C-alpha cells in the first residue's frame, strides 16, 4: 500500500519508517507539503496519489503558539482540513494525529473519547479545530489522540533529561502534579500499523471515529524523569537527582492540563491492540540511545532548540 506520511522529520514519521516498512512509504516535509499553504497540500497529494495518508505534521511549540495563534491555527487547524478534503477527493482514508491537550484536566480519571473537550491554550484549540476539520471533510478517517511522545529521535523529554545529566546538571526540578501517559513513538507506530492492517482487510472497520492511543500506565513528569535516569544508570549512562516542583512553581506561557491521562479502551476493543506499559517502551528507547558513546554525544547535540521538551523542568549544574 502506498502511504503518504506528513511530518517527515518528526518522531512519529521516523518511527513509522521502521515499523511499517513493508508498505510503500512516501514522506513529505514542509518543503514538499506545507500545511499553511493549501496549494502546496493539493500539489503534494496529487503528485503522490496515495492509498492512505498519515497526518503526523503539526505545530508543536505549545508556548510560542500563545504569541502566534494564527500561525498555529493555519498548520494545526486549517491545514488538516485541506489535507482531508484532498484525501476524500482521491478516495484515500486518513489517520490524523491529535493530542491530550484538547482536554482541560478537570476530571480525576483518564479521559474518554466522548468526554467534552475544553482546551486550556492555543495549541489545544488549534488541534481540536484540526480534529473537527478532518471529521467534517467527507473523508474516511481515524483521529488518534496521543500524549507525552518520546523516542530515540528528535527533541523530546527523554533526550532532554539525558542531555541535562550528561552536561553535568546534578539536580533537575521537574513538575510532579501533572499526570499523563508517556508514549513511545515506536509503540505508537506499531498501533498505527495495526490500524492500517485492519483497514486493508476491511476499510470500514472502526472508520470515522476518534481513538485514544497512548502508552499504558500513567506517571507524573517527575516520575517519568526518575524512570529515565534509573534506566540510564542500569546501562551505565548519566543520572541526576530529580526534585519535585509544582506547576505553579514553573510558570509557562501556555497552561497545561493537570490530568491528561487517556483511556485507550476503545482502540483496544476495536482493533485488539494496546500499547505496552510505558516502562517497557522506555527501556527500548534508552537502550537504543545508549548503544555507544557516539550515540550519546549525538543525542546531546539533538536536544538543543526544542520547543516542547523543556516545558516542565529546570536544572542546577554542578
Q: What is the pLDDT of residues 226-266, one digit of tens each?
A: 999 999 999 999 999 999 999 999 999 999 999 999 999 99
Q: Give the DSSP H/E element, type plus range, for residue 119.
A: none
Residues 193 and 50 in one domain: yes
Supply the pLDDT for residue 315. Answer: 58
- 78 and 145 share one domain: yes
For the domain that residue 232 is a member of, what is the CATH number?
3.90.25.10
**Residue 6 three-state SS:** strand
pLDDT at 301 over 60: no
pTM for this prediction? 0.93
- 123 is annotated as an active-site residue: yes
Q: Name the band, by pLDDT with cuts 50, 70 and 90, for residue 304.
A: very low
Same domain for 139 and 51?
yes
159 and 304 inside one domain:
yes
In this predicted model, which residue has the larger pLDDT, 318 or 27?
A: 27
Position 306 scores a pLDDT of 38
Integer Cα distance of 210 and 151 in angstroms: 24
pLDDT in tens, 90-116: 999 999 999 999 999 999 999 999 999
Instruction: Give yes or no: residues 306 and 242 share one domain.
Output: yes
Question: Residues 43, 53: one domain?
Answer: yes
Within a domain: residue 270?
Answer: no
Tally of CB atoms within 10 A around 49: 12
DSSP codes joined into one string, 147-202: -SEE-SSSS-HHHHHHHHHHTTEEEEEEE-S-EE--EEHHHHHHHHHHHHHHHHH-
128 and 168 co-located in one domain: no
In a domain, 259, yes or no: no
Give the residue ranges of DSSP H helices in 49-121. Answer: 69-72, 79-90
Residue 302 within a domain: yes
**Structural domain containing residue 168:** 154-180+217-250+277-317
Cα gap 262→99, rounded to integer Å: 10
225 domain residue, yes or no = yes
3-state DSSP assignment of residue 262: strand
Residues above pLDDT 70, as percent of the chain: 92
Pairing of strands 141-146, 169-175: unpaired
Find the CATH number of the domain harbouring 129: 3.40.50.720
Quick one: 9 and 114 in the same domain?
A: yes
Q: Is residue 57 part of a domain?
A: yes
Query: Does position 195 have pLDDT exceeding 50, yes or no?
Result: yes
Binning pLDDT at 50, 70 and 90, where does residue 293 land?
very low
Question: Total structural domains in the chain?
Answer: 2
Is 190 found in the same domain as 99?
yes
Helix (H, G, I), strand (E, B) or coil at 244: strand
**Catalytic pick from 59, 123, 141, 211?**
123
Indicate if 107 and 160 belong to the same structural domain: no
What's the pLDDT score for residue 291?
83
CA dihedral 177, 180, 186, 187 (to 10 degrees): 140
The answer on 107 and 120 residing in a single domain is yes
Q: Is residue 145 part of a domain?
A: yes
> Domain for residue 261, yes or no?
no
* Least reliable range by pLDDT among 86-95, 164-173, 266-275: 164-173
Residue 77 and residue 202 in one domain: yes
Residue 269 domain-assigned? no
Amino acid at each position: 500500500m502506498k502511504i503518504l506520511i506528513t511530518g517527515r522529520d518528526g518522531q512519529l514519521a521516523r518511527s513509522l519508517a521502521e515499523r511499517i516498512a513493508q508498505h510503500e512509504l512516501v514522506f513529505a516535509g514542509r518543503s514538499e507539503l506545507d500545511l499553511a499553504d493549501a496549494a502546496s497540500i493539493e500539489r503534494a497529494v496529487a503528485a503522490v496519489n496515495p492509498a492512505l495518508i498519515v497526518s503526523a505534521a503539526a505545530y508543536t511549540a505549545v508556548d510560542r503558539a500563545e504569541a502566534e495563534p494564527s500561525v498555529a491555527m493555519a498548520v494545526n487547524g486549517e491545514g488538516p482540513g485541506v489535507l482531508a478534503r484532498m484525501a476524500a477527493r482521491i478516495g484515500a482514508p486518513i489517520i490524523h494525529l491529535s493530542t491530550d491537550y484538547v482536554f482541560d484536566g478537570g476530571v480525576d480519571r483518564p479521559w474518554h473519547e466522548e468526554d467534552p473537550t475544553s482546551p486550556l491554550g492555543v495549541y489545544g484549540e488549534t488541534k481540536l479545530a484540526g480534529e473537527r476539520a478532518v471529521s467534517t471533510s467527507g473523508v474516511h478517517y481515524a483521529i488518534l489522540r496521543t500524549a507525552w511522545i518520546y523516542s530515540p529521535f528528535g527533541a523530546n523529554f527523554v533526550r532532554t533529561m539525558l542531555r541535562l545529566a550528561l552536561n553535568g546538571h546534578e539536580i533537575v526540578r521537574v513538575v510532579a502534579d501533572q499526570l499523563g501517559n508517556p508514549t513511545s513513538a515506536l509503540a505508537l507506530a506499531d498501533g498505527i500499523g495495526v490500524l492500517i492492517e485492519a483497514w486493508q482487510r476491511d476499510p470500514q472497520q472502526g472508520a470515522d471515529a476518534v481513538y485514544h492511543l497512548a502508552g499504558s500506565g500513567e506517571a507524573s513528569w517527575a516520575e517519568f524523569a526518575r524512570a529515565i535516569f534509573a534506566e540510564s544508570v542500569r546501562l551505565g549512562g548519566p543520572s541526576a537527582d530529580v526534585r519535585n516542583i509544582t506547576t505553579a512553581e514553573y510558570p509557562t506561557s501556555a497552561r497545561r492540563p493537570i490530568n491528561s491521562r487517556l483511556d485507550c479502551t476503545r482502540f483496544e476493543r476495536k482493533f485488539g491492540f494496546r500499547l505496552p506499559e510505558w516502562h517497557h517502551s522506555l527501556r527500548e528507547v534508552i537502550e537504543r540511545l545508549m548503544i555507544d558513546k557516539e550515540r550519546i554525544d549525538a543525542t546531546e547535540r539533538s536536544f538543543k532548540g526544542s520547543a516542547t521538551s523543556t516545558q516542565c523542568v529546570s536544572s542546577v549544574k554542578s
